[in-house]
């Protein structure tokens, strides 16, 4: 289904995975280690308050070069500042950008050739990213899979 190990953009390279629990994080990590071991991972994460954010990060943080904590427009995810503090316990390179649209614009603007941006932690987060990219609100992304 959409949002499960889905390439959203090829330029810059952006992958979405709706993993939202520790088991899903393990599957995502295995995939990343097997299929994109040469890429630096920029983990873009937001998660619902009822999920095990610490456990989720414990699985994925070791393979990330950096982590950006974000939020959906409906504010349904964990408070980004609280999430930042949790992420900083397991990773040294953590930033907060509470607006997902800004995060995606920054990824596009930077276009790091050696980096893979991975949106994960919530189907709500992935769904909003899909909506933003599919609608063309973030101009310049080269879509994957023939989507506009």
pLDDT tens string 27-80: 999 999 998 877 899 999 999 999 999 999 999 999 999 999 999 999 999 999
Asked whether residue 97 carries a pLDDT value surpassing 90, the answer given is yes
Residue 36 is predicted with a pLDDT of 85
**CB-based burial, 98-124: b 16+ in 10 Å, e otherwise:** bebeebbbebbeeeeeebbbbbbbbbb
Asked whether residue 20 carries a pLDDT value surpassing 80, the answer given is yes
Asked whether residue 13 carries a pLDDT value surpassing 60, the answer given is yes
User: What pTM value is reported for the model?
Assistant: 0.92
Band of pLDDT at residue 142, cut at 50, 70 and 90: low
Q: What share of the chain is helix, strand, coil (3-state, %, to 5)?
A: 40, 25, 40
User: How far apart are alpha carbons 7 and 144 in whole angstroms?
Assistant: 6
User: How far apart are alpha carbons 37 and 79 in whole angstroms?
Assistant: 31
Structural contact between residues 130 and 8, judged by C-beta atoms closer than 8 angstroms: yes
């Amino acid at each position: 289904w959409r949002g499960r190990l889905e390439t959203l953009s090829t330029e810059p390279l952006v992958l979405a995975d709706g993993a939202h629990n520790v088991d899903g994080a393990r599957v995502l990590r295995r995939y990343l280690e097997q299929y994109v071991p040469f890429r630096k991972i920029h983990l873009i994460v937001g998660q619902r308050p009822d999920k095990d954010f610490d456990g989720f990060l414990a699985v994925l943080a070791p393979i990330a070069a950096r982590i950006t904590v974000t939020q959906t427009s409906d504010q349904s995810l964990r408070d980004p500042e609280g999430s930042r503090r949790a992420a900083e316990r397991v990773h040294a390179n953590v930033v907060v950008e509470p607006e997902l649209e800004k995060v995606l614009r920054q990824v596009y603007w930077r276009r790091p050739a050696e980096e893979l941006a991975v949106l994960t932690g919530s189907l709500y987060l992935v769904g909003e990213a899909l909506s933003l990219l599919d609608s063309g609100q973030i101009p310049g992304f080269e879509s994957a899979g023939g989507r506009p």
